[in-house]
Structure 1
């Protein structure tokens, strides 16, 4: 069996975020809603996506893109803070962190699946 073939671990790494969002989203959201906590499944998935970005970037490029990812996230936080200060005239921390964390999730999901696509192409081209 060739090294470049897809392994079960690769396939699981590729589909876990979609499965989590599809299968558990409603139950997790209802669970936290009953406890009157405003947490969604997307908020809980960010650490998994960050870990996946680290693993996939090393598998794909033989180096980590995680520092660049963090620089973009921190820059995004500054841009959101400046935008909120300009638009509202003040920065309300709860609104800032909620907005920032949702953008972190969207950017993390986009980065994760971009890496999945590049990883799949990399494996197919080597094979």
Structure 2
């Protein structure tokens, strides 16, 4: 199991397995599945763990604390933006917007970490 987290190929395999399980559950629970819940909503916790292991192997330090700090600052920013734009905070709208932006950020940071890992292993 530890190879699935530490090896980039195992990480992608685990992501494919989670994707298959989510698709299966969505297909099984057609009418009871929330329409606003999409596949990439399940990826950020896994991608944060994968980013931790990749950056530890590439640079001997983890970038995850900085990623978490940026996600916290993003939450504050989205809250302020909602208050300025709408004059109120609607929890459903806020959490959906925040989580979707977190999805994009974690995917981007994981791809950057994967690129750094490949460069570190291929480089001199």
Of residues 43, 46, 52, the one that matches 1:45 is 43
> Is 1:34 aligned to residue 35 of structure 2?
no
- Runs of 4+ residues over 2 Å off in structure 1: 8-17, 19-34, 36-39
**Unaligned ranges ≥5, structure 2:** 1-5
Structure of greater relative contact order (alpha carbons < 8 Å, 6+ residues apart): 1
Name the residue aligned to 2:3. Answer: none
How many residues are treated as equivalent by the alignment? 118
* 1:40-94 Cα deviation digits (max 9, x unpaired): 2211111111110111111111011111111100001111111111111111011
Q: Secondary structure at the match of 1:90?
A: coil
Of residues 3, 11, 17, the one that matches 1:13 is 11
Q: Pick which of 34-43 and 54-63 moved more.
A: 34-43
TM-score (normalised: structure 1): 0.78
Alpha-carbon distance in structure 1 between the residues aligned to 2:65 and 2:98: 18
Kindly report the root-mean-square deviation, in angstroms, between the aligned alpha carbons of the 2 structures: 2.4
